[in-house]
Amino acid sequence: MFRTALKTAAVAAGVTAALSLVPTTAVQAADWQPNKPVEMVIMAGQGGGADRLARLFQSIIEKNDLSNMPFLPVNKGGGSGAEALRYMKDNAGDAHKVMATLNSYYTTPIRTDIGVDIANYTPLARMAVDTFVLWVNADSGITTLEEFVEAVKAAGGEWKMGGTGTGQEDSLVTAMLEQEFGITFTYVPFSGGGTVAKNLIGNHIDSTVNNPSEQMAFFKAGKSTPIAAFTEDRLQVFPDVPTMRELGHDLVYTMQRSFVGAPDMPDAAQAYYVDLFTKLAATEEWQTYAAEQALLTDLLTGQALQDYFLAEREKHAKLLEALEGGGS
């Protein structure tokens, strides 16, 4: 008797538990789910920081079964990301396209008239903030900022700074350096950070402002030397590399790594992706990668993210104005 009662109670408890669980999961699942592969548009070329990250996410999503449909990365890096921005705009309302952004998300529409207003895009999640470091080829023998500035001055404007497309992050950081130190570079644009890194190691250019992940493998092989970091604090992976601030120069610049959806993405789809990226941010694979590659993980979603985007756009408009007004 007693035993049956217990059993009944247990079953009842189990049923209640199941019942209490069922509605929430069922509602979430029923809300919206992709019904075909999701296109992951990358605003940059292959091999750069944005590209690597998108492809890593693709694998993590698959491995942890975060989505019922695969995510397919597509590079649309043309025109400093204008190609990708335009593509998302032309696919307004599409629930099966997400875009991996970088700072050209703000700068490209400001510099090029492509009829895009980012305030209309659907914010999903900011996964990380990437950092910038000044790099030279290890063969150059340069190890300090002073030596670097001296070498650039001695080159008389012919010092080749490689970076991504004109008007993109790398060129902004380069322009900041020019203003701060009163030096001039010959800026050579390449299609992606990976190609930039390779050209530094091949001695086709003299310096870069690559993200840590782009130079990490070459740094470990002793082929490139970090001179200074454009960060608030020293990076954990390069404890011996000073920040520009420590050296008395107020140069701090970071790059957001976020995902946005097309303009007018359905609310249910937005909720789905925000949930997916939130889960992704908690995975062990992502945490490990971020720590190794000196990415600052700082999840931001919803309205807070949109506010951040708009504030950053404001900041970049001023930055561009100041730099382009200042000549070079």
Partner 1 sequence: MDVLTLLAEGFVVSLSPLNLAVVIVGVTVGLFIGAMPGLGSVNGVAILLPMTFLVPPASAIIFLAAIYYGAMYGGAISSILLGIPGASTAVATTFDGRPLAQKGKAGLALIAAAAGSFVGGTISVILFTLFAVPLADVALAFGPAEEFALVLLAFTTFVALGGDDVLKTIITIVLGLVLSTVGLDLISGQPRLIFGDLPGFYSGISFLVLAIGIYGVGEILWTIEQTRHKPHVTPARIGVRDLLAGLRSLGGSVKAMLSGSFLGYFVGMLPAAGATPASLMAYGVAKTTSKHPEEFGKGAVEGVVAPETANNAASTGSLLPMLTLGIPGSPTTALLLGGMVMWGLMPGPMLFLEEPEFVWGLISSLYTANFFAVAINLALIPLFVWSLRMPLHVLCAMVIVLCIVGGYAPDQRMHDVWLIAVFGIAGYLLRKLDYPLAPLVLALVLGPLMEKSMRQALISAQGDPMTFIERPISGTFVAIAVVLFLLPLVRRLRRRLAGSGTPASGRTSA
Residue 8 near residue 154 (C-beta atoms within 8 A): no
Using the contact rule CB under 8 A, the part of the chain among 22-30, 146-154, 184-192, 270-278 near partner 1 is 184-192
Q: Are the C-beta atoms of 309 and 107 separated by less than 8 Å?
A: no
- The correct pick among 58, 179, 297, 306 for binding partner 1 (CB under 8 A) is 58
Q: What are the strands of the beta sheet with 71-75, ordered from one edge?
A: 71-75, 38-42, 97-101, 254-261, 122-131, 296-301
Whole-number Å distance between alpha carbons of 309 and 317: 12
Is there binding between residue 208 and partner 1 (CB under 8 A)?
no
Q: How many other β-carbons are positioned within 10 Å of the β-carbon of residue 200?
A: 27
Contacts of 254 (CB under 8 A, 6+ apart): 129, 130, 131, 132, 230, 231, 296
φ and ψ at residue 230, rounded to 5 degrees: -90, 55
x/- binding map, residues 244-283, to partner 1, per CB under 8 A? ----------------------------------------
**Part in contact with partner 1 (CB under 8 A); list of ranges 26-34, 194-202, 306-314, 319-327:** 194-202
The reply to whether 313 sits near partner 1 by the rule CB under 8 A is: no
Report the nearest approach of partner 1 to the CB of residue 187 (Å).
8
Q: Which of 186, 236, 287, 328 binds partner 1 (CB under 8 A)?
A: 186
Among residues 135, 218, 259, 309, the one that binds partner 1 under rule CB under 8 A = 218
Asked if 289 is part of the footprint of partner 1 (rule: CB under 8 A), the reply reads: yes
In the bound complex, what is the minimum distance in angstroms from residue 12's beta carbon to partner 1?
39
Minimum Å gap between C-beta 55 and partner 1 is 3
Out of 32, 34, 79, 140, point to the residue binding partner 1 (CB under 8 A): 79
Report the residue number, 289 or 305, with the smaller CB distance to partner 1: 289
Distance of alpha carbon 188 from alpha carbon 181, whole angstroms: 19
Alpha helices in the chain (DSSP H): 2-31, 49-63, 82-90, 104-111, 145-155, 169-181, 193-201, 212-220, 267-281, 284-292, 302-325
Per CB under 8 A, 198 contacts partner 1: yes
Distance CA 281, CA 298 (A): 9
Residue 190 engages partner 1 in binding (rule: CB under 8 A): yes
Residue 133's closest CA among 230, 250, 251, 247?
230
Binding-residue total with partner 1 (CB under 8 A): 61
Task: Output 138 or 252, the one with its CB closest to partner 1.
Answer: 138
Q: How far is the CB of 277 from partner 1 (least distance, A)?
A: 17
Residue type, position 4, single letter: T
Alpha carbons 159 and 192: distance in angstroms, whole number: 20
Span 88-147, contacts to partner 1 by CB under 8 A: 90, 108, 111-112, 114-115
Compute the least distance from the CB of residue 294 to partner 1, in Å: 13
> In 3D, which of 126, 257, 259 has the Cα closest to residue 193?
257
Q: What is the DSSP letter of 282?
A: T
Distance CA 130, CA 117 (A): 24
Q: Which residues bind partner 1 (CB under 8 A)?
A: 37, 46-47, 51-52, 54-56, 58-60, 62-63, 70, 72-73, 75-76, 78-80, 82-83, 86-87, 90, 108, 111-112, 114-115, 158, 160, 165-167, 186-191, 194-195, 197-199, 201-205, 216-218, 220-221, 223, 285, 288-289
